[in-house]
Amino acid sequence: HKRYSIATIPGDGIGKEVIPVGQRAAEAVAAKHGFALEWTRFDWSCERYEKTGRMMPEDGIEQVKAHDAIYLGAVGWPGVPDHVSLWGLLIPLRRELDQYANVRPVRLLRGVSSPLANRRPEEIDFIVVRENVEGEYSEIGGRLYRGTADEVAVQEAVFTRRGVDRIMDYAFTLARGRKRKHVASATKSNGIVHTMPFWDERFEAAKKRFPDVETAQYHIDILTAHFVQHPDWFDVVVGSNLFGDILSDLGPAVAGSIGIAPAANINPEGAYPSMFEPVHGSAPDIAGQGIANPVAAVWTAAMMLDHLGEVQAARTLEEAIEISLERPQSRTRDLGGTADTKASEAAILDAIHSL
C-alpha cells in the first residue's frame, strides 16, 4: 500500500495547535482508505529564530525537497519582525519551490451560517487562484534615508509574461473542470497602475486559449463589494499576489470565518513538492488557549490528500468537517459556537469513523 512522506512545519502560535489536529484527521482517513503517511517534523519558527538567528537552516529548502508535500501551520510571532520571519521562511519556500499557484477555496459549509443572511451552501462556492511568486511581492526596491525627513520606500511590482500566463492557464484549467466553467479576473486597469493593463492583455490572450470558459473582469475595489453582495456570481477568481491575498481573507469572512479557510501552494508541474497551509496566521491573540478553529488545517489536509491522488480520502475528510459543523456544540467560537479545539477535533474524528 501507498506511503507518502510529508514535511510538517507547524511554525508559530496556533499553527502548533491546529497542525497536529490535521495530522490526526489525515491519519484517520488514511487508515480507512488504505494508505500511509510518514511525517517529518521541522521546528522552523520564530522560536527557532530567537535561539539560532535563523528561521530555517541554510539548506532548509533542500531538506524539504525530498518530501511528497509540505504541511505548514503559520509563520510570524510578536518580537520577531514580520519581514524577518516571512522572508526567512514562508516566502523562500513558496518561491524556491516555484509554488506559483496559490489555490484558496471558499465554500459555505453545511452547518455554518454566513454573516450574509439567508445564503445557502450552493450560493457560496468559489476558488481564489492567487499568483504566488511575483507581482507586488517583489524583492526589487528598498528603503532610503531611514529615520530622516527625506525617508523614501520604493518597491517595484514585477509582472512577467511567463508568470502571468501560467497562473491564467492554471485558473482556466481549474474552471474547465468545474460545473460553471467561469473565471473572473481581479484588476485595476483604469490607467492608474501600469502592471494591470498588462495583466488584462494576458487575460484576453488566455480567453482565446480557453474559448469554452466564460469570463468576467472587475476592478479590485468593486470586486470586494461584489464578494459581499453577490458571492453567488463567482466560480474561479484569478488575482495577482496582493489582490489574491486580500480576496482570500474576504472570501472566508463571507463564508463564516477565516478559521475554516484552506490553501494550497501548488507547483503544477510537480518539479517540486507543493505546500499546504491554512489561509490564517499564527493568531497571537488566541494562541495557547486551546480555542483555535482546527477546521482550516483539516480542510487544508484534505487539499493535500487530493493533490497526492487520494481523492476519496479527501472527500471523506471534507464530508466529516461538514457533519461536525452541523452540530452547534462542535463549532468553535469564531463560528459563534462554544467548542474548543479538542471538541472540534473529536467531532471531526467521530464523523470520519461514522463514514
The residues that touch ligand IPM, with contacts defined as CB under 6 A, are 76, 86, 90, 245, 279, 281
Work out the angle between the directed axes of helices 341-354 and 295-308 (0-180°, nearest 10): 40
> Toward Mn ion, which CB reaches closer, 129 or 213?
129
Restricted to residues 315-354, the positions that interact with ligand NAD (CB under 6 A) are 334
Q: Least CB distance from residue 311 to ligand IPM, whole Å?
A: 25
Question: H/E element holding 306?
Answer: helix 295-308
One of 6, 7, 9, 14 touching ligand NAD (CB under 6 A): 14
* CA dist., res. 309 & res. 336, Å (int): 34
Question: Could you tell me the three cell numbers for 77?
Answer: 510571532
Q: Of residues 15-54, which lie at the interface with ligand NAD (CB under 6 A)?
A: 18
DSSP sequence for 121-168: GGGSEEEEEEE-SSBTS-S-EEEESTTSTT-EEEE--B--HHHHHHHH
Residue 283 binds which entry of ligand IPM, ligand NAD, Mn ion, none, with Cβ cut-offs from 5 to 8 Å by kind?
A: ligand NAD
Minimum distance from residue 51 beta carbon to ligand IPM (Å)? 22
Residue 111 vs 251, nearer CB to ligand IPM = 251
Binding mask 238-267 toward ligand NAD (x if CB under 6 A, else -) reads --------------------xx--------
In the complex, the smallest distance separating the C-beta of residue 281 from Mn ion, rounded to whole angstroms, is 7
Instruction: Name the segment binding ligand NAD (CB under 6 A); options: 74-82, 152-160, 202-210, 323-331.
Output: 74-82
- Amino acid identity of 68? D
C-alpha 351, offset from chain centre: 24
Which SS3 state, helix, strand or coil, does residue 353 take? helix
Position 277 contacts Mn ion (CB under 5 A): no
Q: How far from 317 is each of 8, 26, 145, 232, 296, CA to CA, in Å?
A: 19, 8, 53, 25, 12
Binder to Mn ion among 245, 277, 306, 318 (CB under 5 A)? 245
* Residue placing its CB nearer to ligand IPM in the complex, 263 or 352: 263
Residue with cell 443572511: 117
Q: Is the separation of the CB atoms in 4 and 38 below 8 Å?
A: yes
Separation CA 279–CA 343 (nearest Å): 22
Which residues in 107-166 contact ligand NAD (CB under 6 A)?
none
Closer residue to ligand NAD (CB): 168 or 321: 321
Footprint on this chain of ligand NAD (rule: CB under 6 A): 14, 18, 74-76, 82, 90, 258-259, 277, 280-286, 292-293, 296, 334
